[in-house]
Amino acid sequence: MATNVIINNNQPQAPTLVAVQSNQWSTGICGCFDDLNVCCFAYWCFPCFACNTASEFGECFCLPLLDLVWTAVQMMFVPSCTPPVSMSMRVAVRTRYGIQGDMTSDCMYASFCNVCSWCQMAREMKRRKQPPTVFTAQPMYMGPQQYMMTTQPGVITSQPMISAAPLS
């Protein structure tokens, strides 16, 4: 008995997978060349960039603007060097993703490398936010004696997944 097997060669290429499940930052503090879009956005319009990054993290869109108010207040009254919103955002990103570090380094980066710190946070959120997609080929019955290979997207999760359907 002869069967026809059709393989669809017009399948989309699987995206590049970036596995970020480490307890370290995925890019360095000066890793602007890892994502030029982030770097350029921060360079040309830092207040908009910081507000957008805070919003994508789930915080109030206008929260980073409080650092501008902080700058004005410190010039008139008590000078200090650590922008509170920048530091708290860095601590929150580090805590959410389980990144190793301490508040001393967060304070130093927020105070002396503020724009680079925001860029690093944006790159980290971007890399950890996108779930990797895996395409698996499975035979599909088309009719009498015809089969076709199809692709179905699947998602890799970092935690165990329980499925009610039996594996074949």
pLDDT, tens digit, for every residue of 5-24? Answer: 444 445 555 544 445 467 89
Domains identified in the chain, total number: 1
pLDDT of residue 4: 46
13 found inside a domain:
no
Give the pLDDT confidence score for residue 16 in this predicted structure. 47
pLDDT of residue 83: 87
List, for residues 37-80, the tens digit of each pLDDT value. 999 999 999 999 999 999 999 998 888 888 877 777 777 776 67
Residue 61: inside a domain, yes or no? yes
Q: Is residue 14 part of a domain?
A: no
22 assigned to some structural domain:
no
In a domain, 11, yes or no: no
pLDDT of residue 32: 85
Mean pLDDT over 28-35 rounds to 90
Domain annotation covers residue 158: no
Residue 144 lies in a domain: no
The 3-class secondary structure across the chain, one letter per residue, is CCCEEEECCCCCCCCCCCCCCCCCCCCCCCCHHHCHHHHHHHHHCHHHHHHHHHHHHCCCCCCCHHHHHHHHHHHHCCCCCCCHHHHHHHHHHHHHCCCCCCHHHHHHHHHHCHHHHHHHHHHHHHHHHCCCEEEEEEEEEEECCEEEEEEEEEECCCCCCCCCCCCC
Range of the domain at 60: 32-129
Per-residue model confidence (pLDDT) at position 134 = 57
Write down the residue that tokens 């499925």 correspond to: 163
pLDDT digits (tens, 9 = 90+) for 116-150: 999 999 999 999 886 655 555 555 555 666 555 55
Tokens of 8: 């669809």
Report pLDDT for 20.
47
**Domain assignment present for 59:** yes
Query: Higher confidence at residue 168 or residue 124?
Result: 124
70-114 per-position pLDDT tens digit:
777 777 776 677 888 999 999 999 999 999 999 999 999 998 899
User: What is the model's pTM?
Assistant: 0.64
